[in-house]
A and B are shown apart, each in its own frame.
Chain A
Amino acid sequence: MTRLDDAEAQVLEQARRALGPTMQDQERVLQSLLVRISAPPGTTPSPSNGVRAKSATWPLRAGWSVVVIGAIALSGGLGYRTGFEAGIAKQRSGNLGTNASLPAPPEPSREAAPTPVATAEHAPRMREPDHESVSHPPVTHVDNAPHTASGARPSAESVVAIEKLGLDEEVRQLRRVERAIRESNPRFALVLLEELEQAIPKGQLQEERDAARIMASCQLDADDAVADARTFIKKHGSSAYRSRVVEICRLASAPSERISPAPGTDAPEMENQR
């Protein structure tokens, strides 16, 4: 079979990108779709009016939007690398005292054009049934661990397993957040953080959450963002996120605020790892 020459391959690659939807397309269709799906039988709204339709289902749609947009981010259509690796690995080893290596993040095989084969395999909730039980996991504290039917507490091993699964989920969600920050999408990052807060309110990666929230707030030029960043730096002087917080919040721009990196810390610079 004749092979494609470079020019042909390039044209096809460019076309693949440009023929694909934008994020706005994806969100617009989602809104209409949710209206249509959630409409009671026999009252199917007009598809073309879906976007404008207002109904009592808006909280449902909003909830779904968060989930779907989160899934979109997680699916890795644009190709991304790990976020928060250094800090998370440190936290993981510190908290669990076991396997400090992170699971490899889903590695999309195609940029901006996920195919069913590749992306379905990377859709974690489809591929990892064991993690279904932790999509909103019971989080991590032995005292809060559910009792078994007989009233006995789960074994220490199972508590550790629950902790690990909860942490895995937290790591996954924080990677979405990190990706949103890296792509200068702070509002989305904050939405994801809020979702994470609801799903795993007492997670093990509070420092990472704080750092992410501050970075996103700084990207939005929020009122208290810089003050929060200073507080964070003061509180977590040796944080792996120190230099990124400093950079994104421009703390180093004022001479009085210039802060040299803490010795022995490697800031998790993700920008060049795409």
Chain B
Amino acid sequence: MSQLDILPESVSTGPKHPEFTAIYANYFAFVWRCLRTLGVPDRGLDDAVQEVFIVVHRGLAGFRGESQLRTWLYGIVRNVAYKQARRVRRKERAEPIDDQMRSSEPTPSERAEEAQAANFVHRFALGLDHKKREIFMLAMVEQFSIPEVAEMTGVPLNTAYTRLRAARAEFRAALERHRGAHDSTG
């Protein structure tokens, strides 16, 4: 019997099921970044991440095959992200992106630079239409290959290439504008 077959509905036997823990450990950062980049506001991020892993936990028993794991997981992430984003944004108007960025403690310059880059990339991604956004996020932020991205998003390979090309061009232009603005103020 596969290890995945014995995962129970609850964690009453907890530590005997390393698969879920391995998935949590290995995919947490991926899930977190995807949810953020797909537009889940920070105030809803914890709940959204939990939601993803609860679905994973419940569905793991029926899951087969490692090659589909990330596709399956990303499908969950995508559903939760859109549902959560809709829910939060319905409640209250979205705050300006800068306010949504996580407040950062005073940090060394390198951390500040990273936060600035994250702010820029996050804002850029949220400005893309959702089809290009997920291609941008998976291919450029998460660095999956285009065939992988096509598989995960369920779009034809050529479509994925086309969207990526467009997203890259927009990214380049946005970065140049950003640099220009930064240079002129600096």
A binds B: yes
Q: Let me know if B21 is at the binding interface, CB within 8 A.
A: yes
A-side contacts of B148, CB under 8 Å: 117
Which A residue sits closest to B51, measured CB to CB? A47
Q: Let me know if B24 is at the binding interface, CB within 8 A.
A: yes
How many residues of chain B are within 8 Å of chain A by beta carbon?
A: 60
Task: From B11, B15, B27, B117, give the contact of A18 (CB < 8 A).
Answer: B117
Task: From B54, B69, B70, B143, give the contact of A37 (CB < 8 A).
Answer: B54
Interface code A1-45, partner B: CB below 8 Å = 1, 0 otherwise? 110100110111011111111000110111011101110100000
- Which residues of chain B (1-32) have a CB below 8 Å from chain A? 3, 10-12, 14-15, 18-19, 21-30, 32
**Stretch touching chain B among A64-72, A217-225, A234-242, A253-261:** A64-72
- Give the CA-CA distance A32 to B49 in the complex, in Å: 10
Which B residue sits closest to A10, measured CB to CB? B117
Q: Let me know if A75 is at the binding interface, CB within 8 A.
A: yes
Interface centre among B22, B116, B175 (most CB of A within 10 A): B22
B18 → chain A, closest Cβ, in Å?
4
Which A residue sits closest to B178, measured CB to CB? A11
B30 and A2 contact, CB distance less than 8 A: no
- Give the CA-CA distance A66 to B18 in the complex, in Å: 12
Q: Let me know if B82 is at the binding interface, CB within 8 A.
A: no
B70 → chain A, closest Cβ, in Å?
4
- Which residues of chain B (139-186) have a CB below 8 Å from chain A? 140-144, 148, 161, 164-165, 168-169, 171-172, 175, 179
B121 → chain A, closest Cβ, in Å?
4
- Give the CA-CA distance A89 to B122 in the complex, in Å: 46
A99 → chain B, closest Cβ, in Å?
26
Q: Let me know if A123 is at the binding interface, CB within 8 A.
A: yes
- Which residues of chain A (53-73) have a CB below 8 Å from chain B? 60, 63-64, 66-68, 71-72
**Stretch touching chain B among A80-88, A124-132, A201-209:** A124-132
A1 and B164 contact, CB distance less than 8 A: yes
Q: Let me know if A91 is at the binding interface, CB within 8 A.
A: no
Q: Let me know if A79 is at the binding interface, CB within 8 A.
A: no
**Stretch touching chain B among A108-116, A142-150, A185-193:** A108-116
A15 → chain B, closest Cβ, in Å?
4
Which A residue sits closest to B70, measured CB to CB? A116
Interface centre among B18, B24, B26, B148 (most CB of A within 10 A): B26
B-side contacts of A10, CB under 8 Å: 117
B27 and A2 contact, CB distance less than 8 A: no
Q: Let me know if B118 is at the binding interface, CB within 8 A.
A: yes
A120 and B66 contact, CB distance less than 8 A: yes
CB pairs A–B below 8 angstroms (22 shown) = A7-B179, A11-B120, A12-B141, A16-B33, A16-B143, A17-B118, A18-B114, A20-B32, A25-B32, A29-B53, A32-B46, A32-B50, A37-B11, A47-B51, A48-B46, A48-B47, A64-B14, A74-B25, A115-B142, A117-B144, A119-B27, A126-B22
Interface residue ranges, A against B (CB under 8 Å): 1-2, 4, 7-8, 10-12, 14-21, 25-26, 28-30, 32-34, 36-38, 40, 47-48, 50, 60, 63-64, 66-68, 71-72, 74-75, 77, 110, 112-117, 119-120, 122-123, 125-126, 129, 132, 135
Please give me the 9 A-B residue pairs with the lowest Cβ-Cβ distance, nearest first: A18-B118, A116-B70, A14-B117, A15-B121, A71-B25, A119-B26, A18-B114, A123-B22, A125-B18
Interface residue ranges, B against A (CB under 8 Å): 3, 10-12, 14-15, 18-19, 21-30, 32-33, 36-37, 46-47, 49-51, 53-54, 57, 66, 69-70, 73-74, 111, 113-118, 120-122, 140-144, 148, 161, 164-165, 168-169, 171-172, 175, 179
